[in-house]
């Protein structure tokens, strides 16, 4: 097949995606992450990053990164097991272990790779994996990659999961769930899942990418929110690119779990370590995340203020108390039109469409950060009143 033939075939696929209103495109940011950003010379108020605590551009985090770059250089240089594991990585692992109350922590270059690495290291074709149907793509891909028998249970439905567990025999059975669901903002019923895992002799893994730093008084995420003992949540994944404002991910658990990952997790073994300066910057983020609880309080105030404002406008929100506050609009074309119209008013909110979410559940995914103010929320509400309220009335 020559190249022009290949391109023609690819163009056809791209065109079908465009026609279905599912085409994705990027915007190029000329500023740091924050409530106000500049794109192509135009200022916007942004409600779409995951910088929940406003740490991505925090001066102390930036200063730590700069200093550590002087000490360590830029690149990780090699994989952790060759010579890429620096003192900064090691210290961050130890501090995260202490913070999460786990025996040990292992750093990964990002959350996608952490999830692929963990599930494929723990399971093979003799095993079974049970995933919430709204789990993040990286968890679903990881389950498929592992070769284990793969089942998706109904969202947060412990009865449905129980039935599936009862009819599945396997060497190992792993239940996997997001802690806070990335596109819905609701929280997994972890105490019930942990209880079920114990009863049925299954293992439980939680990806708390969106809860860690935001939930719990100290920011310990869903584990702290539900006050779950370590034994009830043996595999805990957190990411560093969201509330921490840096990049990378970690897995927290027992000595045996972490040693297993070091020996068998291919996405740990065969990749260059994250830049050591990022690990050093994350140590500063961790300190801020733990000590500055006002960031979580302020974030929660903003979320409640927004929800009250929406109620007054008659806008339907989903059942979420997290900084992820989606407005369901149904079709992909509506979601795109609303997002475009908000952008024209200087407000950035991303339209989330299939396959990221199930068909017919396209939505505007609004996310808040501790860097936002109530005035920012007022501006968002004014724009939503103009743009989304008429549509919801039309649909109702």
Is 79 marked as binding a ligand?
Answer: no
> How far is 197 from 185, CA to CA, in rounded Å?
23
Q: Which residues contact residue 348 at a Cβ distance below 8 angstroms, ignoring those fewer than 6 apart?
A: 27, 37, 39, 44, 45, 46, 47, 48, 342
Query: Is 322 among the residues known to form the active site?
Result: no
> How far is 167 from 158, CA to CA, in rounded Å?
14
For tokens 């407000």, the residue is 347
Between 136 and 363, CB nearer to ligand PMP = 136
Between 116 and 194, CB nearer to ligand PMP = 116
Is 168 marked as binding a ligand?
Answer: no
Q: Which of 64, 109, 120, 182 is catalytic?
A: 182
Is 268 marked as binding a ligand?
Answer: no
| Nearest distance from C-beta of residue 139 to ligand PMP, angstroms | 7
Is 85 marked as binding a ligand?
Answer: no
**Residues binding ligand PMP (CB under 6 A):** 110-112, 115, 136, 138, 178, 182, 207, 209-210, 239, 241, 249
Q: Which of 67, 32, 56 is nearest to 280 (CA)?
A: 67
Query: Is 242 among the residues known to form the active site?
Result: yes
Q: State residue 151 phi and psi, 5-degree precision.
A: -130, 145
Is 52 marked as binding a ligand?
Answer: no
Q: Which of 58, 85, 210, 298 is catalytic?
A: 210
H-assigned helices in 20-157:
59-72, 87-100, 111-122, 137-146
Query: Is 89 among the residues known to form the active site?
Result: no
Helix (H) / strand (E) containing 351: strand 350-352
Q: Which of 49, 50, 27, 26 is nearest to 38 (CA)?
A: 27
Between 44 and 244, CB nearer to ligand PMP = 244
Between 110 and 285, CB nearer to ligand PMP = 110
Q: Would you name the residues annotated as active-site residues?
A: 182, 210, 242
User: Residues within the annotated binding site?
Assistant: 24, 111-112, 136, 182, 210, 239, 356
User: Residues within the annotated binding site for pyridoxal 5'-phosphate?
Assistant: 111-112, 182, 210, 239
User: Residues within the annotated binding site for substrate?
Assistant: 24, 136, 356
């Amino acid at each position: 097949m020559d190249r022009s033939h290949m391109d023609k075939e690819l163009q056809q696929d791209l065109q079908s995606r465009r026609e279905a209103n599912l085409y994705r495109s990027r915007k190029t940011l000329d500023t740091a992450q924050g409530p106000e950003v500049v794109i192509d010379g135009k200022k916007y108020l942004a409600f779409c990053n995951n910088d929940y605590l406003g740490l991505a551009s925090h001066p102390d985090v930036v200063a730590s990164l700069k200093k550590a770059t002087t000490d360590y250089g830029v690149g990780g240089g090699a994989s952790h097991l060759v010579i890429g594991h620096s003192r900064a990585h090691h210290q961050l692992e130890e501090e995260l272990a202490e913070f999460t109350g786990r025996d040990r922590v292992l750093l990964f270059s990002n959350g996608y790779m952490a999830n692929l690495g963990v599930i494929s290291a723990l399971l093979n074709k003799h095993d079974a994996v049970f995933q919430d149907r709204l789990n993040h793509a990286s968890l679903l891909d990881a389950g498929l990659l592992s070769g284990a028998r793969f089942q998706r249970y109904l969202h947060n439905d412990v009865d449905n999961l129980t039935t599936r567990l009862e009819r599945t025999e396997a060497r190992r059975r792993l239940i996997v769930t997001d802690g806070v669901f990335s596109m819905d903002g609701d929280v997994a019923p972890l105490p019930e899942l942990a209880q079920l895992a114990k009863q049925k002799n299954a293992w439980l893994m939680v990806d708390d990418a969106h809860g860690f730093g935001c939930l719990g008084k100290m920011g310990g995420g869903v584990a702290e929110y539900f006050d779950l003992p370590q034994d009830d949540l043996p595999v805990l994944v957190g990411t560093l690119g969201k509330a921490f404002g840096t990049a990378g991910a970690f897995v927290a658990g027992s000595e045996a779990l972490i040693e297993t990952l070091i020996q068998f997790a291919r996405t740990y073994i065969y990749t260059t370590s994250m830049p050591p300066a990022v690990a050093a910057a994350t140590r500063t983020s961790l300190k801020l995340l733990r000590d500055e609880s006002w960031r979580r309080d302020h974030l929660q105030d903003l979320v409640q203020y927004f929800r009250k404002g929406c109620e007054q406008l008659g806008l339907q929100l989903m059942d979420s108390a997290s900084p992820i506050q989606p407005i369901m609009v149904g079709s992909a074309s509506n979601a795109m039109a609303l997002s475009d119209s908000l952008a024209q008013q200087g407000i950035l909110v991303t339209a989330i469409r299939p396959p990221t979410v199930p068909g017919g559940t396209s939505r505007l995914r609004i996310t808040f950060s501790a860097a936002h103010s109530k005035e920012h929320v007022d501006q968002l509400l004014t724009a939503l009143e103009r743009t989304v309220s008429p549509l919801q009335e039309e649909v109702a």
